Amino acid sequence: QGKGGVLINTASTAGLRPRPGLTWYNGSKGAAITLTKSMAVELAAEQIRVNCLCPVAGETGMLADFMGEDTPEKRAKFVSVIPMGRFSQPSDMANAALFLAEDSSSFLTGLAMEVDGGRCV
């Protein structure tokens, strides 16, 4: 139905800034970022933009997989490396995805957008 479109993948800040003990996760997210960039180059001529979101640890079902038992001490340790001082929320990801899908970002492709409160700075 015409030309153009937008694809938005999800990776992680772990694909940009790997963490010890998570080689399997770091590698898979790094691959998702490279896939995004490769697809961006392949599909640009058709005006299809391809970007990915790279969230930091957030208030999702996956948090326990990384943090273990949810305690105030563990939460404080995780949040201490996020300059904005909080976990990401699903709405942070949704808002970033909406921005990348809008016409106002029509010249952005191949981007690995860090939705991380400054974690990767």
CA dist 47 and 61 (Å) reads: 35
Q: Which of 107, 99, 102 is nearest to 47 (CA)?
A: 107
Q: Taking a C-beta distance cutoff of 8 angstroms, is the pair 60, 19 a contact?
A: no
Q: Are strands 112-115 and 5-10 parallel, antiparallel or unpaired?
A: unpaired
CA dist 91 and 93 (Å) reads: 5
Active site residues: 25
Q: What is the DSSP string of 54-78?
A: EE-SBSSTTHHHHH-S--HHHHHHH
